[in-house]
Amino acid sequence: MIETRNLTKEFNGLVAVDHISFSVKRGEIFGLLGPNGAGKTTTIRMLATLTRPTAGTATVGDYDIVKDDNEVRKLIGLVSEKIIMYDRLTAKENLWFFGRLYNIQKEVLNTRIDELLELVQLGKWKDVQVGTFSSGMRQRMNVIRALLNMPEVLLLDEPTLGLDPQSTVEVREFIKKINRENKMTIILTTHMMIEADLLCDRIGIIDHGKIAALDTSPHLKRRVSGADTTIFEFEIANLTTNMVSSIQSLECVGSASRDNATRIRVHAHGNNAFDIIIDTIRAEKGKINSVKNLEPTLEDVFLHITGHDVRDNADQKIPMKGHRRFMPRRRVR
Ligand SMILES: Nc1ncnc2c1ncn2[C@@H]1O[C@H](COP(=O)(O)OP(=O)(O)O)[C@@H](O)[C@H]1O
Ligand SMILES: [Mg+2]
């Protein structure tokens, strides 16, 4: 449905998007995940025909984004980072205004507005001024505005940026729903690992204008841990140095590191690893309080691939997961 080949955008010598190539299948949710300034918005704006590439090409539904920009525009709906909505107009009036801009026939538009408002559970708010809406309601309005022309492709630039947790959940649910029910092809950008993980069929990790890795979330995570590695975290009330070295010396253990007085993290491989480690701890009279099986997160993947944290230059600071630093810093195979 979408294909980019060496898509590039320079702003006075600054390469914002640097020879990006990827393709998005029909009906897929494709994520561009990367920190602020990575080039996500610029990529979306090029696909939306709002800005021209300096080099490279892209097609949407086989139409060239430069040569056939009018055709491309008919296929896409864009939800940009900024919400454009008239506070003093009601929900319905706002949608009517934008729908007429798209030149949608009045009868068709009337029914469509009602359907879309129902779709995002805003039906009973249709005659209420948008100025009184919560941020989640406004963002849902912003998304359905992009759906007025029934696009085949939806471009979502940071769809949950700045939303409170409740609204974030609502908007994410809605994105999944329109993808499932309308088979809509979606590209979404985000700097939130969890969002990419929850929503996207495949994820392109973008950093400094380049795609650093592109795959499904499970495959990306496997690059970090290795297909066969499991990460366990044991809480042992009476953890001793001896216990730590016994675990470390096990054949099924790749690495074991003591986190604090009672906690040990173990990278293990093989099917029986768990049993073997438990037996070893018991043999030394260790009292196990809890065991966790830790999956590598996309955060680990980003760090592993780009060598820096995704939030290094992002505006949203969230405390890091404690286990991050235990991940091996191997090169990507
Ligand atoms: N119109 C512009 N003029 C000059 N530089 C720009 C312009 N738009 C974006 N940039 C720069 O391009 C880079 C990528 O920006 P952007 O695509 O907005 O990244 P993201 O959406 O991933 O945060 C940044 O360094 C940004 O400052
Ligand atoms: Mg952006």
The CB of 137 under 6 Å from ligand 1? The reply is no
The alpha carbon of 12 and the centre of ligand 1 are apart by a number of angstroms equal to 11
**DSSP assignment of 121-141, as one string?**
T-GGGTTSBGGGS-HHHHHHH
Assess whether 231 and 268 both reside in one domain. yes
Assess whether 274 and 146 both reside in one domain. no
The CB of 39 under 6 Å from ligand 1? The reply is yes
Cα–Cα distance, 162 to 31 (Å, whole number): 18
Query: Is residue 74 within 8 Å of 153, Cβ to Cβ?
Result: no
Q: Given CA atoms 144, 145, 151, 153 in this order, what sign does their dihedral have?
A: negative
**DSSP assignment of 146-207, as one string?**
HHTT--SEEEEESTTTT--HHHHHHHHHHHHHHHHHH--EEEEEES-HHHHHHH-SEEEEEE
The alpha carbon of 189 and the centre of ligand 2 are apart by a number of angstroms equal to 8
CA nearest 243: which of 203, 285, 192, 302? 285
Assess whether 250 and 157 both reside in one domain. no
The alpha carbon of 42 and the centre of ligand 2 are apart by a number of angstroms equal to 7
Assess whether 205 and 260 both reside in one domain. no
Assess whether 7 and 146 both reside in one domain. yes
**Tokens 């999944």 identify what position?**
176
Nearest Cα residue to atom 27 of ligand 1: 37
Assess whether 284 and 137 both reside in one domain. no
For 244, the token pair is: 């730590």
The CB of 202 under 6 Å from ligand 1? The reply is no
Q: What is the pLDDT of residues 96-132, one digit of tens each?
A: 999 998 888 999 999 999 999 988 889 999 999 999 9
Assess whether 132 and 200 both reside in one domain. yes
Q: Domain holding 49: CATH number?
A: 3.40.50.300
pTM: 0.76
Q: With respect to residue 83, please indicate whether it lies within any of the assigned structural domains.
A: yes
Assess whether 108 and 183 both reside in one domain. yes
- List 255's β-bridge partners, or say none: 267
Q: What is the pLDDT of residues 133-175, one digit of tens each?
A: 988 889 889 888 998 988 999 999 999 888 888 888 888 988 9
Assess whether 195 and 145 both reside in one domain. yes
CA nearest 298: which of 230, 222, 201? 222
Assess whether 134 and 17 both reside in one domain. yes
Phi, psi angles (nearest 5°) of residue 9? -140, 125
Among residues 215, 239, 265, which one ends one of the domains?
Answer: 215
Q: With respect to residue 326, please indicate whether it lies within any of the assigned structural domains.
A: no
Residue range 284-309: mean pLDDT, rounded: 82
Residue 42's domain comprises 2-215
Q: With respect to residue 330, please indicate whether it lies within any of the assigned structural domains.
A: no
Domain count, the chain: 2
Assess whether 243 and 204 both reside in one domain. no
Q: What is the pLDDT of residues 22-71, one digit of tens each?
A: 999 999 999 999 999 999 999 999 999 999 999 999 999 999 999 999 99
The alpha carbon of 84 and the centre of ligand 2 are apart by a number of angstroms equal to 16
The CB of 38 under 6 Å from ligand 1? The reply is yes
For 111, the token pair is: 């029914």
Assess whether 171 and 30 both reside in one domain. yes
The CB of 47 under 6 Å from ligand 1? The reply is no
- Classified as helix, coil or strand, 218 is helix
pLDDT value for 166: 83
The alpha carbon of 62 and the centre of ligand 1 are apart by a number of angstroms equal to 27
Q: With respect to residue 319, please indicate whether it lies within any of the assigned structural domains.
A: no
Cα–Cα distance, 143 to 84 (Å, whole number): 11
For 75, the token pair is: 């296929």
Q: With respect to residue 311, please indicate whether it lies within any of the assigned structural domains.
A: no
Atom of ligand 1 nearest to the CA of 191: 22
Q: With respect to residue 46, please indicate whether it lies within any of the assigned structural domains.
A: yes
Cα–Cα distance, 197 to 67 (Å, whole number): 34
Mutational pocket test of ligand 1: of 32, 41, 78, 311, the residue with most ligand atoms within 8 Å of the beta carbon: 41
Q: With respect to residue 61, please indicate whether it lies within any of the assigned structural domains.
A: yes
Q: What is the pLDDT of residues 243-284, one digit of tens each?
A: 999 999 999 987 788 888 999 988 788 888 999 999 999 999
CA nearest 207: which of 23, 5, 16? 16
Residues near 30 by beta carbon (within 8 Å), at least 6 away in sequence: 2, 22, 24, 185, 186, 187, 188, 200, 201, 202, 203, 204
Cα–Cα distance, 193 to 7 (Å, whole number): 24
